[in-house]
Amino acid sequence: MMSDQPEKISDVKMDTANLYREEAYTDLKTGGIRKLVPIKLDGSEDESRPAVFSGHTQVMSPHGPVPIQGVIEANTLEEAVLGFPLAMESAMNQMVEEAQRMQREQANRIVTPGDLKKDNGGIIV
C-alpha cells in the first residue's frame, strides 16, 4: 500500500502557494490573538487571500488552568478583538461537548470477557 507520507524528512516540502506570516497580539491579562497574514514567496502580502485570526486564553478548573483556543471570524484586528470573547466561549463549549461525548462513549462501551482482569480476588474492568 502506498502512503502519502514522505519516506524521509528531507522529502518534506513547504506549500509555497499557502505561506503566512504570523503576528501576535496580547493585552498581557486575558489572552492573545494570532493573525496569520497570507504572503507570497517573496514575502510581500498576498491580498488575494484573507488573513486568519485565532485566539487563546485559559480558564481555571479544579485541576488547574485549562488552555482554550479557537478561530475568530474577523477581517480586521478590531473585529478580532471584539469577537474574542464569543470565539473563546464557543471553543470552550466545543471542548466541553467533546469531553462529554467521550465520557458517553466510555460509559456505553460493551465490556467483554477479554476486557476483565483478575486482581487479588476482585474484578477490575
DSSP for the chain, written as a single string: ---SS-SSGGG----TTSEEEEEEEE-SSSEEEEEEEEE-TTS-B-TTS--EEEEEEEEEETTEEEEEEEEE--SSHHHHHHHHHHHHHHHHHHHHHHHHHHHHHHHTPPP-GGG-EEETTEEE-
Of 20, 22, 88, nearest to 57 by C-alpha is 88
pLDDT band for 9, please (50, 70, 90 cuts): confident
Tell me the pLDDT tens digit for each residue of 67-98. Answer: 999 999 999 999 999 999 999 999 999 999 99
pLDDT band for 124, please (50, 70, 90 cuts): low
pLDDT of 44 reads 96
Sequence-distant (≥ 6) Cβ neighbours of residue 6 within 8 angstroms: 12
pLDDT of 59 reads 92
The answer on pLDDT for 108 being more than 90 is no
pLDDT band for 125, please (50, 70, 90 cuts): very low
- pTM of the entire predicted model: 0.73
